[in-house]
Amino acid sequence: MKFRKTAALAVAVLALTATACGGKEGSAGDKPGGVQPGASDVPALPKYVVATDVKLDSPTFTTAKERGKLVIGSKADQPYLGFEDQSTKKRSGFDVEIAKMIAAELGFTESQIEWKTVDSATRETAISKGQVDYYVGTYTINDKRKAQVGFAGPYYKAGADLLVRKDDTAITGPKAVKGKKVCSIKGSTPLQEIKKPEYGAQTTELGKYSDCVQQLLTKQVDAVTTDDAILKGYAAQNPEKLKVVGQPFTEEPYGVGLSKADKPLRDKVNDVLEAKIKDGTYKKIYDATLGLSGSEYTDPPAVERY
Amino acid sequence: MSASVLFDAPGPKAVVRNRILAVAGSLLIAGLLAFSIVRLSDKGHLAPEMWDIFNYSGIRQNIADGILATLKAFAIAAVGSLVLGVLLAVARLSDHKPVRWFATGFIELFRSIPLLITIYAVWAGFLTDYSMWALAVGLTLYNGCVQAEVLRAGVNSVPKGQREAAYALGMSKSQVMVTVLLPQAVRAMLPTIISQLVVTLKDTSLGYIILYPELLNVARLVASNTLVNGQYPYVSVIVVVGAIYVAMCLALSGLATWIEKRGRRAKTGIGTPPAGESALLSGDAGQAAGTAVLIQGDSDRTGGPGTGGGGGN
Amino acid sequence: MNVLLDNFSEFRDGFIGTVSITAVSTVIALVLGLVIAGFRVSPIPPLRWFGTAWVTLLRNTPLTLLFLVTTFVVPEILFPGMSAFVLGSLALGFYTSSFVCEAVRSGINTVPLGQAEAARSLGMTFPQTLSLIVLPQATRTVLPPLSSILIALTKNSAIAGAFSVTELFGWQKLMGEEGYDIVPVFLWVALAYLVVTFTISGVFRLLERRMEVAR
């Protein structure tokens, strides 16, 4: 009895929301000021040719082939890097393109990709438990993580930097944050760094970078620290209010995270990265995404095989 | 109304004083509200564009999906916790010592650990691929223990004569439990059971920790991924989602009122605790009684629904 | 064992964090809860309405949402730069106050009518009746539910970890990220919470025993 009523109620609530649907189409919020990936006056994204007849003795690849879908882990809240528009559900950004490029080389079309949003805190679990086939999302390669997951790449060299409000002249670099409130994600590498006595910042630890940026905009914190790529994305999204200091104080080589045991897949991804960096596809991706945020193109570091 | 015994019908002086206090109180509350609204709109959080995002079908779809995900996890957890609750309650009332001890230990363990941690551990340890099930199992473990204690209190509150009469008719132990004690316990504790279900519904929001796309998780993503006027629409999203949660919970509490009223109309079984001003309140009071029993549990005092369940009217 | 010894200072910080945010929000919740309960039985209608609205709103909102409010909305209304600990305590304290209020109110209901009537016939005012006669007698019935409310508060403090407050759940997540096995981590954290919650229920059992009267 009780459950029938509960169910009826649930259905009623659902019906209500369902009928509420059918509003405006398209992307809510501010329209990016002219610079938008895919717009006519900006560098276009490369087209990826989907490889056929890929043979790879990799357990991850074999299961993905069998299920007909490739599950890729990515961030969803980093403009120009790993971003999902909440009104159109479209993914865009540098990491997303790199992931698509690899998928094409593995023989998966764009419609065969299943995106999964995985936050920083749960990346290792998601990869090691096979929740995602591989993960592209500002994932710094380090030895601690190598104990749990495998890394292909690096495909990009980032470094921790500071994002501040545009009118802020006091924070000129990591040496000027003593006593200031710096926000980042709980447990992230730059946060551990800036906490050290030589910098001496007060830290605020939240769950998402966008939470930190909102706190910066509302003057709850004085700076946001994380990899410059992420920060430049935010600065480009909101150039009236935010700027990046431009004094990187760590090195963060980004890798593609995948199962630790799956060496064949790791080698394959490394091959793809090397080839695509060589033939210029990589630079095209960069120019059409991260390049728009003002950061200059530099050649990525050499792929490390291990 | 129970409160009225606390003060006399006001005389002329008291009437004036009460009016002054009423006006001052209302002004203060209105002032605080107005201050908050002015401060927020000063900073552009209440601009029309902030609310306009809810006119987009994509965002509505997101929120609808979030509600569906929340209700799915809730439905599984609700059924699961009630089933587990009955099993544990019966086990705790069992005549076999090991069974009783096991049930007691189980209940004490999962009631003392924060639900967030249980959910995270279930997810990280066993069900990483199935975040919905991890959330539902976590909620079931915790709420099942609470429901078990509520039911136990209900069974204990059934007058002794009922049980004795049933045994006198030659019923077996399990027959007595299933056909005589439990139905009456459920009826007596219905408000408490339902208010615990409201808690279960609210707790689905802890799914964010395991990335389950329930309503609150979805809302946070909407808030952080939509740039409006150079800011993120946290305030408008919080208001809208908060309203949805309150509406869902009130609907569930409304159900409690309705069931309680029905229960009182039918003159069988032991009476439900007298209702307070509204069923929501008596639900609360009932919960207090239920939880009171949880704590007293060991000292073998039976705090029936009458002790705290708004009984003293 | 290793996971605890190797990371003992973080564990200790987390434990202290949990205990202190629980303590501070307990104070907020008790004071506010009493005041709001007073509002809800007061002779002044707007205050009663306010009390009802307060309880309805806070009881039906997920705690996580309240944390979002204190983290992203409250500083905008008051002033920027408020500490995460203060904001977290506010969220926890406000949320719990609605439960305390209802426990106190149902406690008030259990005090025999004659008590309040006698107080009134002695010419006591509403605040006097409440604070001298009714509330002290209500304490006995309020204690058990209050104990479980405070235990719930302790456990709810885990949510604060996601909002920049150092506490035990943060330690669990940190250890998870550093690659320790989840099971011993879970057990240690559970044990720490058990220590806090058993302390609370122990204190309350003691209080109850002292308050016990033959009825």
**Chain-wide mean pLDDT for chain A?**
80
In a domain? residue B157: yes
Q: pLDDT by residue (tens digit) across B77-129?
A: 999 999 999 999 989 888 888 998 999 888 888 888 888 888 888 887 777 66
Same domain membership, residue B204 and residue B137: yes
Note the pLDDT of residue B244. 92
In a domain? residue B313: no
- Rounded to a whole number, what is the distance in Å from the CA of B167 to chain A's nearest CA? 29
In a domain? residue B291: yes
Please report all neighbours of B, defined by 3+ CB atom pairs within 8 A: A, C
Please state the pTM of the whole predicted model: 0.80
- Report whether CATH 3.40.190.10 matches the domain A59-158+253-293: yes
Contact B53 A130 (CB under 8 A): no
Contacting residues for A179 by C-beta, under 8 A, at least 6 apart: A200, A201, A202
Task: Please compute the mean of the pLDDT values over residues C104-132 and round it to a whole number.
Answer: 85
Please report all neighbours of A, defined by 3+ CB atom pairs within 8 A: B, C
pLDDT of B295 higher than 70: no
In a domain? residue B60: yes
pLDDT of C26 higher than 90: yes
Same domain membership, residue B140 and residue B1: no
Task: Please compute the mean of the pLDDT values over residues A159-165 and round it to a whole number.
Answer: 88
Distance CA A283, CA B205 (A): 42
Whether B228 has its CB under 8 Å from any CB of chain A: the answer is yes
Note the pLDDT of residue A23. 67
Note the pLDDT of residue B301. 32
Whether B52 has its CB under 8 Å from any CB of chain A: the answer is yes
CATH number where B161 lies: 1.10.3720.10
pLDDT band at A22 (very low <50, low <70, confident <90, very high): low
Provide the chain C residues 150-189 that lie in CB contact (below 8 A) with chain B. 151, 154-159, 162, 169, 172-173, 176, 182-183, 186, 189
Helix C45-59 × helix C8-40 angle, to 10°: 150
Q: Which residue has the tokens 């002044």?
A: C44
Q: Which of A92-96, A183-187, C10-14, C26-30 has the lowest mean pLDDT?
A: A183-187
Mutate to test the interface with B, among A1, A14, A84, A87 (most CBs of B within 10 A): A87
- Rounded to a whole number, what is the distance in Å from the CA of B301 to chain A's nearest CA? 30
pLDDT of B230 higher than 90: no
Whether A200 has its CB under 8 Å from any CB of chain C: the answer is no
Q: Which domains does chain C have, with CATH numbers?
A: 17-166 (1.10.3720.10)
Note the pLDDT of residue B75. 92
pLDDT band at C23 (very low <50, low <70, confident <90, very high): very high
CB-nearest to C193 from B14, B45, B113 is B113
Note the pLDDT of residue B300. 32
Mutate to test the interface with C, among A220, A221, A224, A260 (most CBs of C within 10 A): A220
Q: pLDDT by residue (tens digit) across B175-193?
A: 888 888 888 888 888 878 8
Give the residue on A whose Cα is nearest the Cα of B248.
A13
Q: How many domains does chain B have?
A: 2
Contact C76 B249 (CB under 8 A): no
Q: pLDDT by residue (tens digit) across A217-237?
A: 888 889 998 888 888 888 878
Same domain membership, residue B208 and residue B79: yes
Distance CA A75, CA A97 (A): 12
Distance CA B165, CA C63 (A): 46
Mutate to test the interface with A, among B224, B235, B252 (most CBs of A within 10 A): B224
Same domain membership, residue B25 and residue B60: no
pLDDT of C93 higher than 90: yes
Provide the chain C residues 26-55 that lie in CB contact (below 8 A) with chain B. 40-48, 50, 55
pLDDT of A159 higher than 80: yes
In a domain? residue B294: yes
Contact C193 B22 (CB under 8 A): no
Q: What is the DSSP string of B3-31?
A: GGGGSPPP-HHHHHHHHHHHHHHHHHHHH
pLDDT of C178 higher than 80: no
- Rounded to a whole number, what is the distance in Å from the CA of A195 to chain C's nearest CA? 14
Whether A219 has its CB under 8 Å from any CB of chain C: the answer is yes
Same domain membership, residue B116 and residue B61: yes
pLDDT band at C213 (very low <50, low <70, confident <90, very high): low
Quick one: which of C68, C111, C61 has its CA closest to C90? C68
Residues of A in contact with B124 (CB under 8 A): 125
Domain ranges of chain A: 59-158+253-293, 160-244
Task: Please compute the mean of the pLDDT values over residues C74-98 and round it to a whole number.
Answer: 87
Helix/strand/coil percent split, chain C, to 5? 85, 0, 15
Whether A36 has its CB under 8 Å from any CB of chain B: the answer is no
Whether A28 has its CB under 8 Å from any CB of chain B: the answer is yes
Parallel, antiparallel or unpaired: strands A160-165 and A223-227: antiparallel
Tell how far CA A152 is from the center of its chain: 16
**Chain-wide mean pLDDT for chain B?**
78
Q: pLDDT by residue (tens digit) across A107-156?
A: 888 888 899 888 776 788 888 888 888 999 888 888 888 888 889 878 88
Same domain membership, residue B180 and residue B206: yes
pLDDT of A181 higher than 70: yes
Task: Just give the CATH number of A160-244.
Answer: 3.40.190.10
pLDDT band at B44 (very low <50, low <70, confident <90, very high): confident
**CB A152, CB A258: distance < 8 Å:** yes
Report the percent of chain C where pLDDT is more than 70.
97
pLDDT band at C177 (very low <50, low <70, confident <90, very high): low
pLDDT of A174 higher than 50: yes
In a domain? residue B122: yes
pLDDT of B245 higher than 50: yes
pLDDT of B275 higher than 70: no
Q: pLDDT by residue (tens digit) across B192-228?
A: 888 889 889 999 998 888 878 889 988 888 888 888 8
Query: Containing domain of residue B8, as a range?
Result: 1-42
Mutate to test the interface with A, among C68, C164, C175 (most CBs of A within 10 A): C164
Distance CA A56, CA B200 (A): 47
Let me know if the fold of A59-158+253-293 is the same as that of A160-244: yes
Same domain membership, residue B54 and residue B38: no
Same domain membership, residue B64 and residue B34: no
